[in-house]
Amino acid sequence: MPGLHGTRIGVLMWWTKKRSPAVTAASAPPSATVPPEAVLVRDEHRNAFILMGIGGGTVAVFGLAAISGIFAPVFLAFVLTICVHPLRLWLEARGVPRGIATGSVILAVTLLLVGLGYLILIAIGQFGTLLADFSDEIAAFGKSVAAWLNSIGIDSTEVSTIAAGFDPSSLLGFLGGIVGGLTGWVTGLVIIFTMLLLMAMDAAFLPHLHRQLQPVRPLIVSGFVNYGDNIRRYMVVTTVLGLAQGVVNWIALLILQVPGAFIWGLLAFICSFIPNIGYFLAIIPPIIFGALVGGWPTVIAVIIVYGVINAVIQSIIQPRVVGKAVSLSQTITFFSVLFWAVVIGPIGAILAIPLTLLVRLLLVDSNPSMGWIRPMLGELDETKQIMADSDAETKAARQERKAAKAANHPL
250: pLDDT confidence band, cut at 50, 70 and 90? very high
Length of the chain: 411
Q: Which of 76, 108, 73, 78 is nearest to 90 (CA)?
A: 108
Q: What gap in Å lies between CA 87 and CA 96, rounded to an integer?
A: 11
371: pLDDT confidence band, cut at 50, 70 and 90? confident
**Mean pLDDT for the chain?**
79
pLDDT of residue 167: 55
71: pLDDT confidence band, cut at 50, 70 and 90? very high
| Cα-based angle 365, 368, 371 (whole degrees, multiple of 5) | 70
**pTM (two decimals):** 0.76
385: pLDDT confidence band, cut at 50, 70 and 90? confident
Q: What gap in Å lies between CA 253 and CA 407, rounded to an integer?
A: 63
pLDDT in tens, 117-133: 888 888 888 887 887 77
Q: Higher model confidence: residue 330 or residue 360?
A: 360
pLDDT of residue 288: 86
> CA 24: distance to chain centroid?
42
Over residues 44-60, mean pLDDT: 84
Q: What gap in Å lies between CA 171 and CA 84, rounded to an integer?
A: 37
Q: Is the pLDDT of residue 37 over 70?
A: no
pLDDT of residue 346: 85
The answer to whether the CB of 109 falls within 8 A of the CB of 84 is yes
In the chain, where the domains are located: 63-213, 217-367
